[in-house]
Amino acid sequence: MNSKNAQLRRLLTSCFPKMRGMPVGIALLSGLIFAPGCSFAPHPADLTPDYAIPDQFINAPEQQAVEIISSESWWESYDDANLNRIIDSLLVRNLDLQIALSRVKQVQANLKHARSQLWPALNIDGTASDSKSIFMMGDMIIENENTDYSLAAGLSWELDIWGRVRNLKDAAVADLRSAQYDLTGFYQALIAQAVALYFDVSVLMKRVELIEFNSQLYTLEYTLLQDRYTLGVGRKADMIQAEQRLAGGEAQLARERQLLEFSRHQLALLLGIYPGDVENLEISKLPDLAEIPAVPVGIPSSLLEKRSDIRSAEYKVEAARKKVGAARADLLPRITLFGNSGYRSKTLEDLFDDTARTHSMGGSASGIIDWGGKRAAVRQNQESYNQAILSYQQTVLNAFREVEDALVLVRESGTQAEQSRRQVRLADTYLTIQEGRYEQGLSPYNQWINAARGWVNAEYSAIQSELSALQSRINLHLALGGDWLDSRSG
């Protein structure tokens, strides 16, 4: 009991330093008067990173863009009407988004419940009973019949003297804000996933076309070698090798078509439609990277205000802090007022007579001794609070890493796409030269076919590089917190 008194004294003096040295009873009585102005929650932790944040991201481009890109509809910068229609449909039909919205509504309901605990609870109770008993008294049989009717209204109210209910309400508010930021993050990630998948389908469609053309080249080569072998001027080994290459091309074409269908089905799942219906969606070719506005990056410190996961983690810290306060306040007695007023009578006709009126009122204090259960709850909530702080710090570090990674990918994938497209131009020039030489009889057919295959391979590699560059832009968009900054504003 002495340890319990010491803990109560420490708890009260944490809010009221002048109570130091007072007996526990007097401290409790003083707390009843002054406690409504105090919160037993820990002081807010300093969430400022303990490392220096540079003035700009290390891998930020030297020259910023001058064109503003809307943060709410960044995908419109690709100037693709088909993509815009798909995003509009996504926001209406996606089932995962509807589930996420439902979860936020669930947290909102929890907040309403927490707020309701601040006010008195009113109960209306009505009963009607009829009982009959028979017993022996000597030689006599006695029957006893009893009827009882009652109607009463009861009122109970926990006086939130120590702030337990207020802290729980504040924690519910923070939980709701965290859930709303989680929803924002999910919204951003869902759109990014749809845009990336849309581009993936576009690339796969182009890849199928390229492999079909490659198969035609294999077929042409095999036909020519077969004719030469039939005429006795070609070797059977060359014809078999050509047929082997043809079979490999057909197998590759089957794989590409499979991947295309799988990606279309995944896009259909995002849009909440049957997989077969996605065939009716119009998919545009990849946008020209040179025509897409560059991404303004801004300053690193602004990331702490924009990233939805950071803001969510911040409110998770606040919710955990308030829950510690509620657990601490629960160490002190719960003071509850209650009252009851109504009617009670043996007959239904006399139920509302003045003589049948009943009432009662009083109060109670509970929750003093629980064999350490509440102290364990305080420790549990304190550790949850410590974990929330550490999780926030980890989230911030991860956010900076994601931005730096995305900036590297944007720069390097852009260079790779540019050089891959240069290879296509060179392969196209070489193909034109070989085609002309073959038509003039200056070079054999296989040099022209090899040049055509070289062009196919270069184009295949180029569209993959362009897809990677577009995906890196999407990743940068997410890493920056779903926002694009106008460099001219700073």
Locate CATH 1.20.1600.10 in the chain. 43-118+160-216+248-333+368-489
244 by DSSP, 3-state: which?
Answer: helix
Does the pLDDT of residue 461 top 90, yes or no? yes
Q: What is the mean pLDDT of residues 65-89?
A: 75
| Nearest in space to 350 (alpha carbons), one of 153, 152, 154, 150 | 150
Q: Which of 131-145, 326-340, 343-357, 435-449 has the lowest mean pLDDT?
A: 131-145
Assess if CATH 1.20.1050.10 describes domain 43-118+160-216+248-333+368-489.
no
Looking at residue 260, what is its pLDDT? 94
Output phi, psi for 323, to 5 deg.
-70, -30
Where does the pLDDT of residue 367 fall: very low under 50, low under 70, confident under 90, or very high at 90 and above? low
**Distance between CA atoms of 217 and 300, rounded to whole angstroms?**
52
pLDDT at 34: 46
Of 168, 132, 114, the C-alpha closest to 329 is 168
Tokens 């803001």 correspond to what residue?
311
pLDDT reading at 439 higher than 80: yes
**Poorest-confidence range of 205-209, 299-303, 419-423?**
299-303
Nearest C-alpha neighbor of 144 from the set 155, 152, 136: 136
- Collapsed DSSP state (helix, strand, coil) of residue 349: coil
| Dist CA 257 CA 246 (whole Å) | 17
pLDDT higher than 50, residue 473: yes
- Provide the 10 A C-beta neighbour count for residue 432: 12
| Site of tokens 């729980």 | 168
pLDDT reading at 24 higher than 70: no
pLDDT of residue 354: 72
pLDDT band with cut points at 50, 70 and 90 for residue 289: confident
Compute the mean pLDDT over every residue in the chain, rounded to the nearest whole number: 82
- Residues in contact with 171: Cβ distance below 8 Å, sequence separation at least 6, in sequence order: 114, 318, 319, 320, 322, 323, 326
Distance CA 299, CA 296 (A): 10
Lowest-confidence segment of 244-248, 327-331, 481-485 by average pLDDT: 481-485
Whether 286 shows a pLDDT value over 60: the answer reads yes
CA distance 415 to 201: 23
pTM: 0.79
Of all helices (H) and strands (E), which one includes residue 38?
none
Question: Which is more confident, 3 or 54?
Answer: 54
**Average pLDDT for residues 52-59, to the nearest whole number?**
82
DSSP 36: G
Question: What pLDDT does 11 receive?
Answer: 56
Are 217 and 449 in contact by the 8 Å Cβ rule? The answer is yes
Question: Tell me, what's the pLDDT at 204?
Answer: 95
For 22, list phi and psi in degrees, rounded to 5. Answer: -75, 150
